[in-house]
Amino acid sequence: MLFFLNVLTSGLLAGLMYAMVAIGFVLIYKASGVFNFAQGSMVLFAALTFVTLNEHGLPFWAAFPLTIVVMIAGAVLIERLVLRPLVNRNPNTLFMATLGLSFVIEGLAQLLLGTDVHQLDLGIDDIPVSVLGLQISAFDLFASAIAVALVAVLAVLFSKTRMGISLRAVADDTLAAQSIGIRLPRIWRIVWSVSGFVALVAGLLWGARQGVQFSLSLVVLKAMPVLIIGGFSSIPGAIVGGLLVGATENLADIYIGPLVQGSVSTWFAYILAVGFLLIRPAGLFGESAIERV
Amino acid sequence: MKLSKTLALFSALLLGATSLATLPSLAAEHDGEQLYPLFSYRTGPYAPSGIPQWGGIRDYFNYINEVKGGVDGVKIFVQECETAYTVERAFECYERFKNGYAGAPVAALFTTSSGFDAAVSEKARADKLPVVSVAGGREDAVDGNVFPYQFPLLFDYWTESSIVIDYIAKQVGGYDKLKGLKIATVYHDSGYGRDTIEPLAILSKKYGFEDIQIPVPHPGEQQQAQWQQIKEAGADWVFFRAWGVMTPVGIKTAARVGFPADHIIGDIWSGSEEDVKPAGAAATNYLAVSVYSPGVDFKISQELKKDIIDPGKSDLKDTSKFGSVYYNAGLVTAIIYVETLRTGHKKFGNRPLTPAEGEWALEHLDITAQRIEEIGATGLLSPLKVTAADHEGSPAAKIQQWDGKAWHPLTDWLNGDRALFHDAIFAKAAAYAKEKNLPPRDATN
Amino acid sequence: MSALVSSVQPANLARREGAPLVSLNRIAFVLALAAIYVVVPLIGNDYWLNSLVIPTVVMGLAGVGLNLLTGYAGLVSLGSAAFMSIGAFSAYNLLLRAPFLPLPLALIVAGFVAAAAGVIFGLPSLRIKGFYLSASTLGAQFFFEWLFTNFHWFSNNSMSLTISAPRLEFSGYNLTSPAGRYLLVVVTTGLLVWLARNIVNSRIGRDWMAIRDMDTAAAVAGIPIASRKLLAYGVSSFFCGIAGALWAFAYLGTADAHAFDLDKSFQILFIVIIGGSASLFGNFLGAAFIVLTPIVLDLIVLWWNLTDYVDQGSLTNLLRIIFGLIIILLLIKEPDGLSSLIGRLARRLAAWPLRI
C-alpha cells in the first residue's frame, strides 16, 4: 500500500511538471487557435539562453529577466513574421507553420548556444524527504509550488487585468473582439511572450532535472495527452490533465508494464485521453462549440 | 503550342534533375585518396555524444594526413554527411558514398548509430561493402561466415554483461556469492537496449542471481516508476543500459529514490562526461563500463595536442572536449580505420583500397600490443585481432568511476566470458542464415 | 439532397483549378506517364532511384492516403506513420508465413489489415471533432511503435527488431534491383492513384467533401455520416498501409518500428498541406519537397565546398534553420499548396509571352 501511494504521489508530482509545459500551449491556443508545436523548442531555447548567461557569470536575478527579454523579442518576431501573414488560415496550416518554426528555433539555439549538455543547479536538492511516511523529492515539492504559483498568477492576470479580459474576449469570439477595438497582434505578442516566460520556467525545472540539452524540446510529447485530456483552452484543465496523466502513467508502468514485458507509458496516456474524450468530446475543461447550420 | 511548351518545361526539369544526379561522379579531384564517409549527427538530441566523436575522428585523420603524410602516403579524404540520427538520412548518405566520391573509393563504412547499423545489414551484403560498427552492431554478426560484410569490432553488449557480472562478483567476494543477489538491468527500450536480456538470462542461470529486467521508454526523460520498482524489488546492483538523456535522468532518479550511485554500472554509452555532468552531485561514485578511456596523457594525445589542437586545427569548437570519453572514442575509431588501411596496403600496395580489399584488410586486422605502443595508444586501445570467422576481435573493457570531476579506471582491461555465449550467438547466426537461405561461405581466401 | 451535394462539388472543383487547365493536365499527365515508366528507369542511376525517386513516390502515396482523409473528408490524423507500419509489418509477416501468397496479394491484404486498424482508431471520430480527434491517431502512433518493438513475433524474433523484404518478386521476376523496386513502386502507386481518383469522383468522394464542408448540413441532407467517416479512415489507412510496405521493402530494404515514428506522420501531414489539400497530384510535389529539400541543401554544401568556410556543426544547424524558413515561407506564400503554384505556372506558360 505504501508503495502504491509512493508511486501515486510521485506520478502526480511528475504530472505537474508536464502541466508546466502544457500551460504554454494552452495560452497560445486560447488566444490564437494555434496548436504551437514549437513550445518544446521554446522551452529548450529559453533554458539554454538562461544557462549560457548564467555560465558567463550572470547571477540568477540578472540572467532570468534577461532571458525573459530575449523571449519577448522572440515573441514579437514570431508574431510579425509568422502569425500575422498566416492570420485566418486553417488550424492544420498553422500547426505546420509552428513545426517549421520549431526547426528554426532549434537550429538557432544550437547554432548560437551550442549543443553541449549543461548542468543547471537551482539550489534545491533532488533528494527524498519523508512526508507522512511517503518518500517525496524536495525538488518535486519545490516544482509543484512553482506550478501552483504560476497558475495563480496567470489566473489573476486573466481575470483582473484589462489585458486578460481582452484576451478572453479574443478567445471567445475573435471577430467580435476585433470589432470592439481589441488589437489582435498586440494580444498575440503578449500571449506569446507570456508563454515564452512559462517556457522558461518549465525549461529551468526540467533542465535542473535532466540537464539543459536538446532533449528538453521532446517534453512536448509528454504535454500532448495532458492537453487533450484537459482541453486545449483551459489552464486548470492543464493542471488536472497533468495530474491524471502523471499518476496513471506511473501506475500503468508499474502494474501493467510487467504483464506485457515492456513500458506502456509512451501510449497509455493517449488511450486514456481518448477514453476521456468519448465522455467529454472537448476535453475535461474545454468549451464545446455550438454548431449552427 | 501548349503542348510544346509543357514539353519544354518537362524536359528542362528532367535535364536539370539528371545533371543534378550525375554531377558528383564527374569530378575526380580526389583521385588517389581514400574516402572516409562520416555519418555524423551534429544536431538533435544525440549531438552532444556525437560532436566530440567526430572531433576525435577528424583530428586523427588530420594528423595522419598533415604530419604523417597520409597512411603509407595515401591521404584520407573525409566527407561528412549529416544524418540527424535518423535512418533515412543515413540511407541517403549511404547511397551517396557507397561507390566512392570524386575519384576516392570507399574501403569500409563505419556506422554511427545502432538503428542504421541494423538497417544497412542487407544493403551492405548486396553491395558487398564492409560495414564496421565499433563497439556496437548486431551481436550475431561476429560470425564472419554468415555476415561476411559486417564487423562489430572491439566490443559487444553480451561480453559487457559478463564483465559487469564479473565486476559485481569481485565486489561481493566471488562468483559463489552471486547466488540470491538481485541484479536489475534498466535498459533503453530499443534493439540496442534489449540486446542484454539474453546474455543476462544465461548468466543468471549459471550463477544463480536474480535477473530483473526493467525497460525505459525512449527517450527516457521520466524514470520515476522504473526506479521505484527497483527500490521496491530490493535490487542490489543496477546495470544501466542507457543512451542520451536517459543517463543523467536515471542517475538523478536513482538518487531521488535513494539508490546508491556506486551500485549502478553504466553501459559504455552511458559513461561519458556528457552523461554524468548534468546529473550533478548525484553522479558522484557512479560506475560505468569503459572501452574508451578518457584522458590526454596517452602519447598520441600529446602529439595531437602539439600538432592539431594547439595550432587551432582541431575540428572541436570547444577544445575542452579534447580527451573526453567520446573524443577518445572517435580517436579509437580512427586508429582502427588507419590500421585497417595499413593492413590492406601490405597486401595490395600503397593505394586507396576498394571495398573488397577493405574487407580483406578488416579480416586480417591484427593490432598487437606492440603496434599499439608504436601508435602511442597504450591504455587507450586494447589489442585487436580479427579473423574471417570472428569479426569482433578480442573484446575488453575497464570499469571506471566518476568522482564528481573526472573518470578514474578502477580495473585494468577485463575480458569477460565470451566463450559462455559462443553457442547461443552462433546458433543465432545460423538461424539467420537459414531464414535468409544464405549459402555457407568459403572463408579461406 | 442530391441537389445540395452536386452543388457543393463543381464549385469546389472550379475554385481549385481553372477551367483551361483541364486539357493541359491531360497532356501533362500523358507526358508524365511516359517519363515515369520509360525515361526515368533508362536515365536514372542507382543513387537517383534509391535516394530520390523511390522515397518521393512512396511518400507521395502516403500523402495521397492522408489527403483522402484530411483534404477530402476533413478529418484529422497525426498517426499516418502508424498505419504505414501496420502495412509494413503485415506484409512482412504475410510474405514470411504464407509463402504461397504472391507479392501483390500480400500488399493488398496488408493494406486491408491497416484499413481495419484505421477504422478502429477512427471510431472516436464519430463523437470527437477538430484537433481533439488527433488524440486517437496519436495514440495509434505511439501504440503501434511500441507494439512492433515490444513483441518480437512481429519481426520474427530478429535480434535487431528489424524486418526486411523476405522476397521481392512477381511472377518469376526478381524486383530487388533499383530499377525493379522502382517499377514496383511506380506501378503500385499508379494503380492506387487511379483508384483514389475514382473514389474522389464517385459518390463517396462527394459525400466526404460534403462532410468536410459542414457535417451537420451533410447529415441533414441524409448522408450517412458515421459510415462515411469510418470509410474515410479505412481507405486512408489502406493507402498508408501499402505505402508503408513499399517504404520498408522497396525503399529502406530493412526497417524497424522507429522508421515510422511521429516525425514521419508529421512529414506526411506536411506533404498534404504543402502539396495542396484535396489534390492528388499535389501530394507528389509535397513529397518531392520534403524528401529533396534537405538533400539539395546538403549537396549545395558539398559542391561549393562550403565546409571550407563555415564549420560543419554551424552549417548543419544553418541548413535546419533554412529548411524551417522555407516551410514557413511556403505556407505563407502558397495557401493552396504547391499544386496551385504549378497550376499558375502552367497557365502563365500557356499564355507566354502574354501576361495574365
Q: Break chain B into its structural domains and give their ranges.
A: 26-155+295-395+424-435, 157-290
A85, A93, A277: residue with CB nearest C132: A277
Q: Which of B361, B10, B342 is nearest to B151 (CA)?
A: B361
> Are C273 and A277 an interchain contact pair (Cβ–Cβ within 8 Å)?
no
Q: Give the list of residues 6+ apart from residue C347 with CB closer than 8 angstroms, or none.
A: C18, C20, C21, C24, C356
pLDDT of A43 over the 90 cut: yes
Under 8 Å between Cβ of C269 and C78 = yes
Amino acid, single-letter form, for residue B216: V
Mean per-residue pLDDT over chain A, rounded: 86
**Burial of B422: CB neighbours in 10 Å, binned 0-12, 13-18, 19+:** middle
> Are C132 and A228 an interchain contact pair (Cβ–Cβ within 8 Å)?
yes
Q: Which of A228, A221, A220, A236 is nearest to A42 (CA)?
A: A220
User: What is the mean pLDDT for each group of 10 consecutive residues in chain C (356 residues)?
Assistant: 38 43 64 69 74 91 95 90 96 90 93 96 86 84 90 80 78 80 90 94 94 87 91 96 94 86 91 88 90 85 77 84 90 85 82 69
CATH number of this structure's domain C2-260, picked from the four choices 1.10.1220, 3.40.91, 1.10.3470, 1.10.287: 1.10.3470
Give me the mean pLDDT over the A201-216 stretch: 89
> Are A97 and C220 an interchain contact pair (Cβ–Cβ within 8 Å)?
no
> Are A93 and C273 an interchain contact pair (Cβ–Cβ within 8 Å)?
yes
- Beta bridge partner(s), residue B385: B366
Q: How far apart are the C-alpha atoms of C87 and C93, rounded to whole Å?
A: 10
pLDDT one-digit tens code per residue, A92-132: 888 889 999 999 999 999 999 888 888 888 887 777 788 77
A14, A222, A257: residue with CB nearest B224: A14
Q: How far apart are the C-alpha atoms of A22 and A269, rounded to whole Å?
A: 14
> Are B215 and A257 an interchain contact pair (Cβ–Cβ within 8 Å)?
yes
Write phi, then psi, for A90 (nearest 5 degrees): -75, 155
Give me the mean pLDDT over the A125-150 stretch: 83
DSSP string, C282-342: HHHHHHHHHHHHHHHHHHHHHHTTGGGTS-HHHHHHHHHHHHHHHHHHHHHH-TT-HHHHH
Amino acid, single-letter form, for residue A257: G
Under 8 Å between Cβ of B76 and B320 = no
The pLDDT of residue B259: 93
User: A78-105: buried (b, 16+ CB within 10 Å) or exposed (e) per residue?
Assistant: bbebbbeebeebeebbbbbbbbbbbbbb
Q: How far apart are the C-alpha atoms of A258 and A260, rounded to whole Å?
A: 5
* Partner C contacted by A116 (CB < 8 A): no
DSSP string, chain A: -HHHHHHHHHHHHHHHHHHHHHHHHHHHHHHH----TTHHHHHHHHHHHHHHHHHTT--HHHHHHHHHHHHHHHHHHHIIIIIGGGTT--HHHHHHHHHHHHHHHHHHHHHHH-S--B----S----EEEETTEEEEHHHHHHHHHHHHHHHHHHHHHHHSHHHHHHHHHHH-HHHHHHTT--HHHHHHHHHHHHHHHHHHHHHHHHHHH-BSGGGGGGHHHHHHHHHHH-TT-HHHHHHHHHHHHHHHHHHHHHTHHHHTS--HHHHHHHHHHHHHHHSTT-SSPPPPPP--
> Are A126 and B317 an interchain contact pair (Cβ–Cβ within 8 Å)?
no
- Domain covering B26-155+295-395+424-435, topology: Rossmann fold (3.40.50)
Distance from CA of A166 to the nearest CA of C (A): 24
Amino acid, single-letter form, for residue C109: V
> Are C132 and A101 an interchain contact pair (Cβ–Cβ within 8 Å)?
no
**Which one of A48, A90, A111 would you mutate to disrupt binding with C, by most C Cβ within 10 Å of its Cβ?**
A111
Name the grid cell of A167. Answer: 484576451
Contacts of A263 in chain B (CB under 8 A): 189, 215-217, 226
Distance from CA of C30 to the nearest CA of B (A): 11
Q: How far apart are the C-alpha atoms of A76 and A83, rounded to whole Å?
A: 10
> Are B118 and C254 an interchain contact pair (Cβ–Cβ within 8 Å)?
yes
* Partner C contacted by B435 (CB < 8 A): yes
- Banded pLDDT at A193 (limits 50, 70, 90): very high
Give how many domains chain A has, as a whole number: 1
The pLDDT of residue B341: 96
Contacts of B216 in chain A (CB under 8 A): 263
Which residue of chain C comes nearest to B7, CA vs CA? C31
Under 8 Å between Cβ of A125 and A138 = yes
Name the grid cell of C352. Answer: 507566354
**Residue A229 burial (CB count, 10 A):** 32
What is the pLDDT tens value at each position of chain B, 445 positions in all?
Answer: 344 444 444 444 544 555 455 444 445 678 889 999 999 998 888 888 899 999 999 999 999 999 999 999 999 999 988 888 888 889 889 988 988 888 899 999 999 988 888 888 888 888 899 999 998 878 888 888 889 999 999 898 999 999 999 999 999 999 999 998 999 999 998 888 888 999 999 999 999 999 999 988 888 888 888 898 898 899 999 999 999 889 999 999 998 888 999 999 999 999 999 899 888 889 999 999 999 999 999 999 999 999 999 998 898 888 889 999 999 999 999 999 999 999 999 999 999 999 999 999 999 999 999 999 999 999 899 899 999 888 988 889 999 999 999 999 999 999 888 889 988 888 888 888 887 788 777 654 4
Q: Is B385 helix (H, G, I), strand (E, B) or coil?
A: strand
Residue A95 placed within a domain: yes
Q: How far apart are the C-alpha atoms of B163 and B416, rounded to whole Å?
A: 5
- Which chains does chain C touch, 3 or more C-beta pairs < 8 A? A, B
Instruction: Name the residue range of residue A85's domain.
Output: 2-218
Residue A275 placed within a domain: no
Cα–Cα–Cα angle for B135, B139, B145, rounded to 5 degrees:
110
Q: Which of A227, A92, A22 is nearest to C277 (CA)?
A: A92
The pLDDT of residue A231: 83
* Partner B contacted by A214 (CB < 8 A): yes
**Which one of A103, A115, A263 would you mutate to disrupt binding with C, by most C Cβ within 10 Å of its Cβ?**
A103
Distance from CA of B245 to the nearest CA of A (A): 7
Distance from CA of A36 to the nearest CA of B (A): 19
Name the grid cell of B8. Answer: 519544354
Stretch 2-21 of chain A: residues touching chain B, C-beta under 8 Å: 3, 6-7, 10-11, 14
CA C12 from centre of chain: 22
Q: Which of C259, C231, C245 is nearest to C86 (CA)?
A: C245
Under 8 Å between Cβ of B113 and B83 = yes
The pLDDT of residue B10: 45
Q: Is B84 helix (H, G, I), strand (E, B) or coil?
A: coil
Write phi, then psi, for C170 (nearest 5 degrees): -140, 125
The pLDDT of residue B27: 56
Write phi, then psi, for C56 (nearest 5 degrees): -60, -45
Amino acid, single-letter form, for residue B439: P
- Cα dist. A126→A139, A214, B254, B280, B309 in Å? 5, 21, 10, 10, 38
pLDDT of A182 over the 90 cut: no
Distance from CA of C164 to the nearest CA of B (A): 8
Q: Is B150 helix (H, G, I), strand (E, B) or coil?
A: strand
Q: How far apart are the C-alpha atoms of A215 and A195, rounded to whole Å?
A: 19
The pLDDT of residue B445: 46
Contacts of A274 in chain C (CB under 8 A): 124, 135-136, 139
Q: Where is pLDDT greater, at A147 or B438?
A: A147
Tell me the count of A-B CB pairs closer than 8 A: 118
Under 8 Å between Cβ of C263 and C279 = no
CATH H superfamily, domain B157-290:
Response regulator (3.40.50.2300)
Q: Where is pLDDT greater, at C191 or A218?
A: C191
C124, C321, C323: residue with CB nearest A278: C124
**Residue B186 burial (CB count, 10 A):** 30
Q: Where exactly are the structural domains of chain C?
A: 2-260
Contacts of B215 in chain A (CB under 8 A): 257, 261-263
